[in-house]
Amino acid sequence: MEKTWRNFMICLAGGILFHHLFYGKELGVSYPIYAMFLYLVFYARVAIKGKKQEWFHFVLGGSALLLAVSFGIFSNEPLLVLNFLIVPLLMFIHMVHTRRWDLEKWSNRLFIKLMFITFFETIIDFFNVIFSAGKTGKGVMHDQKGQMVKKIILGVLLSAPLLWTILYLLISSDQYFKQLLGKFPDWLYQANIGSMFFQVILVAVITCLLFAFFMTLAKPLVLNSGEGESRSMKLDTVIVSTMLILLNIVYFLYAAVQFTYFFTGDPSSSASAYTYAEYARRGFMELTLVSIINIGLLFLLTHIGKFEKRVLPNIIKLLLSLLVFFTFVMLASAYNRLSLYEQAYGYTYLRLYAHAFMVLLCILLGLALIKIYIQRFKLLKAMCIATIVAYVIVNYINIDRFIVSQNMKRYEETGKLDLYYLDRLSYDAIPIMIEQKNEMFNKLLKEKKMQLIQEETTWQTFNVSKSHAKQLLKEWTSNNE
């Protein structure tokens, strides 16, 4: 993308569109619309034509767009807050990798370095664009047109005292003229000049930021000789084997204990008299943390570590496989503890997200197991893809509906229901609450309806979840009158 006025005008359109879609408005369909605009500019003005697209590119770009679309479909605030940060990050990684990655071999270190290089180059180019605009403005003021502008400004300043005197006399001579000019301050107040100035600055900043980013993408990546080569850390087989044997002995003893009483589903069988809360919380956090440490250790030994032989020694493979097995056991125990806690205290966002995270850890463990036996397997790349895909799936399973459904099943069994928590769920939960036909939800549904009625909506803030909930609540109200 060359530094031309045509490209700058496209970025200016992006700045104006950003203001029109987002300024003073809630997020809705505006978010995916702007994401699609950025991709349109990227592929039309920046991306290399004819460059082969890898499946990794499709995963990154597709995930970014799916998460962007979620702003127009769902109303789950915790996920939308995360998506607000994750979507720009995914788009950044996707565009940088698509445009600037020219290496045939994958390098974890270089991939991460490329992202940081592009980020800081964009910041530098952003300030360069601003300073160059200032220099251009100074240059214009010294040419013939600039001299004309100077004369016009001087004429306005010189005429100000004369205009003030004449206006004072005319206002004094005619009451209607005085009323007409008296409306001018009201217009200035309604126009809110301070807000207008901020909006102009906002458009200018977004414009320069887009221009700087796309300009950075167009630059070739310059690497020093040998910089693309992966660096490995030399490891000694005896030392690593000793460490893994000791770890596996500890994990074996712990797994044996798990099989004796933790998987019975009865906390009272434990030697320690834990309550359900202590049993689940104290065990879940520690076991999850240990599992994460083990995955990190597996990544270190299989991806970064280098032994005397090109392939992993058989003893190391065996010990790492045992480590994977024992980690699976610990994750299963943690999953079981959390399930018991949910049965006792109900289902929430945090508990279900914890379940999803443990499932993801199991998938990452499986990928690490593949890496143990297939050395050419790109573990970091596979882990990134698995994490992104899993996160997209979590966004689209409608977790609010699942929370209401499971808590109602628990209510039928125990007679306990946390209505206060259910009231804090998003509008995604409204359909199933209406389907339950339970009088306990009547007050909650009426409050939700009032909230939707009082919300000011524009086409930019349109959301399928809110629109569907509003329609269902209208029908529910008419049926219950």
Cα–Cα distance, 288 to 327 (Å, whole number): 9
- Phi, psi of 233, rounded to the nearest 5 degrees: -105, 120
Say yes or no: 268 and 218 in one domain. Answer: no
Do residue 127 and residue 253 come from a single domain? no
Chain Cα centroid distance, residue 422: 25
Contact 341, 276 (CB under 8 A): yes
Task: Decide which of 191, 212, 227 is a domain's last residue.
Answer: 227
**CA-angle at 111, arms to 109 and 117, nearest 5°:** 100
For residue 233, what are the β-bridge partners?
305
Claim to verify: residue 63 and residue 77 sit in the same structural domain? yes
Name which of 127, 157, 72 is nearest 465 in CA terms: 72
pTM score, two decimals? 0.80
Q: Which of 65, 34, 71 is nearest to 465 (CA)?
A: 71
DSSP lists the bridge partners of residue 305 as 233
Q: Looking at the structure, tell me whether residues 3 and 105 fall in a common domain.
A: yes
Name the 3-class secondary structure at 18.
helix
393 and 404 housed in the same domain = no
DSSP annotation of 271 reads S
Helix (H) or strand (E) holding 114: helix 108-142
Where is the domain boundary, 397, 427, 462? 397
412/455 same-domain check:
yes
221 and 335 fall within a common domain: no
Range of the domain at 122: 1-227
Structure tokens at 189: 């107040």
DSSP 221-261: PP--TTTTS---EE--HHHHHHHHHHHHHHHHHHHHHHHHH
Examine the domain organization and report whether 124 and 216 are in the same domain: yes
Mark whether 20 and 86 lie in a shared domain.
Answer: yes
Burial status of residue 71 (CB atoms within 10 A of its CB: 0-12, 13-18, 19 or more): buried
292 and 413 together in one domain? no
> How confident is the prediction along the chain (481 residues), in pLDDT tens digits per residue?
445 778 888 999 999 999 999 988 888 999 999 999 999 999 888 766 556 667 888 899 999 999 999 999 999 989 999 999 999 999 999 999 888 877 666 677 788 888 888 888 888 888 888 777 655 544 444 555 555 655 666 666 666 666 666 666 666 666 666 666 665 555 544 545 456 778 888 899 999 999 999 988 888 776 664 555 555 556 677 777 888 888 888 888 887 876 665 555 555 454 455 555 565 566 667 777 888 888 888 888 876 666 555 556 788 888 888 988 988 888 888 888 788 888 888 899 988 998 999 999 999 999 988 988 887 888 888 899 999 999 999 999 999 999 999 999 988 888 888 888 888 898 999 999 888 888 888 888 888 888 888 887 788 889 899 888 888 888 888 777 6
Is residue 119 domain-shared with residue 190, that is, in the same domain?
Answer: yes
Cβ atoms of 99 and 115 within 8 Å: the answer is no
User: Among 176, 201, 227, where does a domain finish?
Assistant: 227
Cβ–Cβ contacts within 10 Å for residue 60, how many?
A: 23
Residues 165 and 248 grouped into a single domain: no
How long is the chain?
Answer: 481
Neighbours of 382 (CB within 10 A): 17
| Structural domain count, the chain | 3
